[in-house]
Amino acid sequence: MFGGSNDGAAFEFSTDHLPEQDRLRIWCDVVARQSMRIDSRPLPGSVLKVDIRGYAWPGLMIARASLSGMRDERTPELIGDGDDDISFVVNLSGPVTITARGSDHYLEEGEGFAISSLEPSVFTRLAPGSVVGLTMPREALTSRMRNLDATLARVIPAGSEALQLLRSYLGFLLDHKSPTTPELRQSIIAHVYQLIALVLGPPPGVALAMEGQSTAAARLIAIKVDVIENLGNRDLTTEWLALRHHLSARYVQMLFENEQTTVSAFLLESRLERACQQLADVGGAGRSISSIAFACGFGDLSYFNRAFRKRYGMTPSERRAGSARKS
C-alpha cells in the first residue's frame, strides 16, 4: 500500500505540512492516487491525518505510517498500470478490515498481510492507527518461493515467530539512518526478501526441504540485528552472541561463513559504518573523534584510525572536514 521512488533516499510526508484548505485534495489526488497508486478517502466523520516516514531503495521500499480512519482501494482502473509488485503490511495499532479475493479479513494488532498490486483490494482503517508497510518486486519472492500467489491474501498471525522477527528488523531499519554503502544496503534488502519468504511460507510440499535453510537465514538476520544494536559493547564476541541466541559458537561462525565473511569482519564493518555516519553528522560536530570511536565499540584509537583509513581511503578527520565543507 506504499509507493514512490526507489533512489535510495529517505522520505517523509505529513498532512500537517499541507495548507488546510488543500489538504484533502493533495492527499487524495496527488500523493495517494499519483504516487501510491491507490484511491484513498477518509472515512465519514474522520479528520484526515497522515504521517509517513521511510526509505526507498532499489528493489525495496519500507515505511511506517500513522493514519486516521480511511479507506484505501487498489481499483481495477489503477491495476491497469501493470505494476506487479508485492506489498506486505504489519498492522501496529488500530483495527483494519481488508477485502481481497472475494473475502473479508480482519487485521488485528501485530498481524500481517501480503497482496499483489495486480489484484483489487480494499484496506479500511476503522479508527486511527499505525502500520509498517513494504513493497518489493514479485521476482524477489518467486526466486525464493514456489507458487507465491497461493501464499497471498491471508492473515499472518501476530504470534508467528518469523513475523515478529520481520517486524523487529523493519523497526530497527526505520529507526536508524539509511546505510550509506550500496553493499550493506543490498545485504539488508536480501535479508528482508528472505524474511518475507519465511513469513509467507512455502507450500507444504516444499516446507520441509526449506526448513533448514530458512531457519539458518532467520537466525543470521537476528544475530546481525543484535550486533548492530550492540556495537558499543566492547565485549561483543562470537561466544557472547552464541550465549544470547542459545547456539554454539561454531554454529554462529558457520552462519557467517555461509556468506563468505566472519563475525569479526561484520562487526568491524558495522562499527566503521556507524562511525562514518556520526562523523558526517554536522549536528554532532562538538563530539571528539575519540568519543565517537569509543561509542562505536573501538577500544584503541590508533587501530580505529588505521581501520577507517583502510576502509574509506581517508582519515576520520578528513571525513569530518569534508562533511563540514558540504554543509
pLDDT tens figures, 268-319: 999 999 999 899 887 767 789 999 999 999 999 999 999 999 999 999 999 9
CATH classification at residue 109: 2.60.120.10
pLDDT digits (tens, 9 = 90+) for 10-45: 899 999 999 999 999 999 999 888 888 899 999 998
The pTM score is 0.66
Between 116 and 202, residue with greater pLDDT:
116
**pLDDT given for residue 180 in this prediction:** 65
Residue 310 placed within a domain: no
Residue 216 placed within a domain: yes
Residue 186 near residue 178 (C-beta atoms within 8 A) = no
Residue 39 placed within a domain: yes
Residue 151 placed within a domain: yes
Residue 308 placed within a domain: no
Assign 323 a pLDDT band (cuts: 50, 70, 90): low
Q: What is the total count of domains within the chain?
A: 1
Residue 95 placed within a domain: yes
Residue 56 placed within a domain: yes
Task: Answer yes or no: is pLDDT of 56 > 60.
Answer: yes
pLDDT digits (tens, 9 = 90+) for 203-262: 444 444 444 566 677 788 888 888 988 999 989 999 999 998 888 888 899 889 888 899
Integer distance in angstroms from the first to the last C-alpha of the chain? 35
pLDDT digits (tens, 9 = 90+) for 144-188: 887 888 889 999 999 888 888 889 889 888 887 776 677 778 888
Residue 298 placed within a domain: no
Q: Strand 155-156's sheet: what is its strand order? A: 10-14, 50-57, 60-67, 129-136, 86-93, 112-116, 155-156
Domain that holds residue 136: 10-229
- Best CA proximity match to 214, nearest among 137, 161, 172: 161
